[in-house]
């Protein structure tokens, strides 16, 4: 291939995405493209040094960078207006419709690690934490990420309304159960303090999004 001139790339739904940059491979010693960012772009290049030979396959003509503006899917159309080989004869490549998917990818969780010693530990549940249920593990899985497993025996919280401590007990390999008189203690709330009884040294990991 020797030359391609003003080949067009265009995005159908201009509210979803936009072309922001174009780059060319090393063989394209002379190249140009239309102004960006834009919803469509033309590209052209010349192989001045015969870097591309007749036996080459899967030749990169150029690379575009697309910015997502709104969630959704839109098509990307490529139109080849002119492409010549080393002898100046036309090349008529086929093109396929492409698609741009713009979706939200949540950031990875941030781990807050709390080391616990055997005995009583006073902790504060980190903020930005999804409320964790203290119920039977067969219903919600292991709600507390504690290593080693079954290291905690009970958790206490202070009820400012009643002026009393409430207790939730852990039953090994079963889950959590509120003590008598503490039936409302079925979850851990972010930003609140708790007394935790551990039967051995362990590590409690909170994941925050």
pLDDT for 3? 57
**Distance separating alpha carbons of residues 13 and 5, to the nearest angstrom:** 25
- Contact assessment for residue 132 and residue 192, using Cβ atoms and an 8 Å cutoff: no
- At residue 42, the 3 state secondary structure works out as strand
Answer whether 155's CB lies under 8 Å from 146's CB: no
**Secondary element (H or E) of residue 23:** strand 17-23
- For 116, other C-beta atoms within 10 Å of its C-beta total 19
Measured CA angle at 34 (ends 28, 36), to 5 deg: 110
Mean residue pLDDT across the chain: 89
**pLDDT 10s digits, 5-45:** 678 999 999 999 999 999 999 999 899 999 999 999 999 99
The pLDDT score that the predictor gives to residue 172 is 87
Q: Residue 163 burial by CB count (10 A; 0-12/13-18/19+): exposed, middle or buried?
A: exposed
pLDDT in tens, 54-102: 788 888 889 999 999 999 999 999 999 888 887 888 888 889 999 999 9
Model's pTM, two decimal places?
0.59
Rounded-to-integer distance, Cα 169 and Cα 151, Å = 12
Here the tokens at position 57 are 């396959």
């Amino acid at each position: 291939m020797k030359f391609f001139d003003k080949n067009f790339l265009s995005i159908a739904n201009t509210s979803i995405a936009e072309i922001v940059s174009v780059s060319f491979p090393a063989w394209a010693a002379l190249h140009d493209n239309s102004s960006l960012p834009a919803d469509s772009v033309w590209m052209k290049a010349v192989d001045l040094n015969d870097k591309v030979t007749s036996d080459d396959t899967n030749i990169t003509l150029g690379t575009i960078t697309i910015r997502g503006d709104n969630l959704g899917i839109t098509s990307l159309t490529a139109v080849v207006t002119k492409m010549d080989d080393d002898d100046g004869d036309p090349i008529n490549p086929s093109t396929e419709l492409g698609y741009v998917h713009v979706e939200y990818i949540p950031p990875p969780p941030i781990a807050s690690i709390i080391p616990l010693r055997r005995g009583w530990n006073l902790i504060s549940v980190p903020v930005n934490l999804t409320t964790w249920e203290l119920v039977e593990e067969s219903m919600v899985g292991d709600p507390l990420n504690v290593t080693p497993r079954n290291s905690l025996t009970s958790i206490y919280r202070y009820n400012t309304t009643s002026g009393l401590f409430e207790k939730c007990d852990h039953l090994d390999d079963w889950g959590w159960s509120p003590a008598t008189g503490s039936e409302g203690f079925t979850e851990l709330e972010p930003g609140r303090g708790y007394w935790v009884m551990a039967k051995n040294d362990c590590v409690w990991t909170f994941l925050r999004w």
